[in-house]
Each structure stands twice: as structure tokens, then as C-alpha cells.
Structure 1
Amino acid sequence: MHNDRGSIKWTSMMLPEHVSAIQKMWKEDTYQPPPSLDEQELELLNENLEKAIDEELKVKIIRYSNGKYSSYEGSVERYEAIKKELIIRNSSQSFNLPLHQIVDIRI
């Protein structure tokens, strides 16, 4: 069985500019465009958030930041109105999530 190292084996024969261009291309390849939420989606997010806070339910929050999506699970501890962020706590840690980065809230 042949073990191929892919493009890594060619980097020693390439100029540093070419290597950085390829790395930039790989980074751009994984970039995901920011979502655009309409009024109905924002209203649904708001309803789910209110329900989760009132009933102290566990939620799964999807966040978009720097071209990537990430998810957090736990319960909403509180909402910081001045900072405009949610404090989410799970069994091991807590997260501060800015509201403008939240894409979806699932109960």
C-alpha cells in the first residue's frame, strides 16, 4: 500500500510565495458566508430564547463567527442587556455569546 503525503511532499520544491498562496486558498475554501436572517427567523429566535429563559430549558445555540459555525449546548443563565450577549452554562463551563453572532436557537 502506497502512503501518499499529498501536496506536502511538493512544498520543499515550491517558493514560499506559492506555499502561502496555497494555504490561503485552503483557508478560503473552508470559509462559509455569513447568514442573513429575515424577520420571521429573528422572531422565532426571540420566541425560543424567551421560552428557554422563562422555563429554564436546555438549548442548542448555533453561532457564526469568523467564517465558521459552532454550536453550544446548555441552559441560558442570563441575558446581559448592556453587553448584548447571552450567558450559556452547561455542566462544565459557561460561554458568553454576542447576540449578533447567534444564528439559531433550538430547544
Structure 2
Amino acid sequence: MSNSKQLIRSCCEDISYICDIEKKLPNEGELAQLSNIFKALNDPIRVKILFALLEYEICVGEMVNLLQIPQSHVSHQLKILRKYGIVEFTKDKKMSFYYIKNEYIKTLLILAQKGIKE
């Protein structure tokens, strides 16, 4: 028997821990939400927008100036972030000010940046 087959056989003899792992796995709804978060974070411009929103509510015009990309592109990226429930906006007359909807997204961004700097 090859070494890999022996390893598989030995690790599968006592599977009592599998039940513990199964209990801790996210349910289907949670998995879908988690997957959506990572889909939303799968674009450098969206991540940059989120870092800009970590501490401030920012309108689209300010993001255009900050990111130096067309307004239509900023709006499209914000639409995706809204679709996945990551950002929301408040209206003040004709202006829309965007902010990160949940604190855990802020924490995720900060921890991810800290992790890559280590």
C-alpha cells in the first residue's frame, strides 16, 4: 500500500471529530452570504472604495475625485456593493452619501490589510 493510501486510511479510522466540524460549518444561507461578501471584494476598485468608506460617508463625486475614475464606473461598483449588502447610502437633497453597512466588513478589511503587512 502506498504512503498516501496509508495516510488516508489512518486519518479516516477515527472520525469522531467530523461531527464536531459539521456542527460548526455555516448553514446554506450563511454560506451564500459569505460567498457574496468575497465576490464583492473580488475587485480592487471595490476594495479601494471600501477602504475610503472605513471612516467617512462619501458621495459619488468625492469618490470620482479620490479614485480618478469615471462617475459611471464608481456608480457601477457601488451598485454591486449595495447588491451584496455591504454599503448603503443616505440622501441629502440630491446627494447620496455612501457608508459601510456593517462593522464586521470594516473589521474584515482591517484584519486582511494587517495580515498582508505582516
Q: Which TM class, normalised by the smaller chain length?
A: under 0.3
More helix, by proportion: 2
More strand, by proportion: 1
What TM-score do you get using the length of structure 1 for normalisation? 0.27
